[in-house]
């Protein structure tokens, strides 16, 4: 299952730092990293990837903080403490509720996806098949919104 990434912050933080449509203003913001986003990468790789893919590679965030739990970064963004890089599948409801905004337009598709992993000897077991079917239906019912 693909995942999309997009910078997120509170509506108040976006207004205070003049972020709507102005990613260059990230330079004056505190950005939050998730050190556990992908175990085989550095904590700043996702932000670097987003900056490159969104044609903002020249931006250098001066103020940074690293969390080891993504929920803590999201909560800090909700609390108007900075900008986190959110996974849309995980933050859509918070954005729809108005607690977070996505001030820079379209999300980008992440380098990494979600996979179902199972031992080959168990893949044909009824319970495993039922779980795979349920996961497939859940993913199809909730596509990435762009």
- What total of structural domains would you count in the chain? 2
**How confident is residue 31, by pLDDT bands cut at 50, 70 and 90?**
very high
Phi and psi angles of residue 99, each rounded to the nearest 5 degrees, phi first: -75, -30
Angle at 98 between CA 144 and CA 71, to 5 degrees: 65
Residue 23 · residue 104 · CB < 8 Å: yes
Note the pLDDT tens digit of each residue in 85-140. 988 888 888 999 999 999 998 787 777 666 778 888 998 999 998 998 888 777 66
Residue given tokens 């979600």 in the structure block:
114
12 burial level (CB within 10 Å; 0-12, 13-18, 19+) = exposed
- CATH number of residue 69's parent domain: 3.40.190.10
Same-domain pairing of 60 and 103: yes
pLDDT of res. 21 = 92
Q: Which domain holds residue 29?
A: 4-109
**Residue 97 and residue 122 share a domain:** no
The predicted structure's pLDDT at residue 58: 76
83 and 27 in a common domain? yes
Identify whether residues 86 and 30 lie together within a single domain: yes
Q: Are residues 14 and 84 in the same domain?
A: yes
Identify which has the larger pLDDT, 58 or 8: 8
What digits encode the pLDDT tens for the residues 10-20? 999 999 999 99
């Amino acid at each position: 299952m693909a995942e999309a990434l997009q910078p997120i912050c509170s509506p108040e933080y976006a207004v205070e730092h003049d972020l709507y449509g102005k990613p260059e203003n990230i330079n004056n913001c505190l950005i939050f990293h998730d050190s556990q986003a992908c175990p085989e990468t550095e904590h700043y790789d996702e932000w670097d990837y987003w900056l490159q893919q969104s044609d903002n590679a020249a931006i250098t965030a001066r103020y940074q903080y690293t969390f080891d739990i993504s929920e803590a970064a999201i909560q800090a963004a909700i609390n108007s403490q900075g900008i986190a890089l959110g996974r849309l599948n995980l933050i859509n409801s918070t954005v729809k509720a108005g607690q977070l905004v996505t001030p820079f337009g379209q999300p980008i598709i992440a380098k990494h996806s979600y996979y179902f992993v199972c031992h080959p000897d168990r893949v044909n077991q009824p319970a495993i098949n039922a779980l795979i079917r349920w996961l497939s239906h859940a993913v199809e019912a909730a596509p990435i919104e762009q």
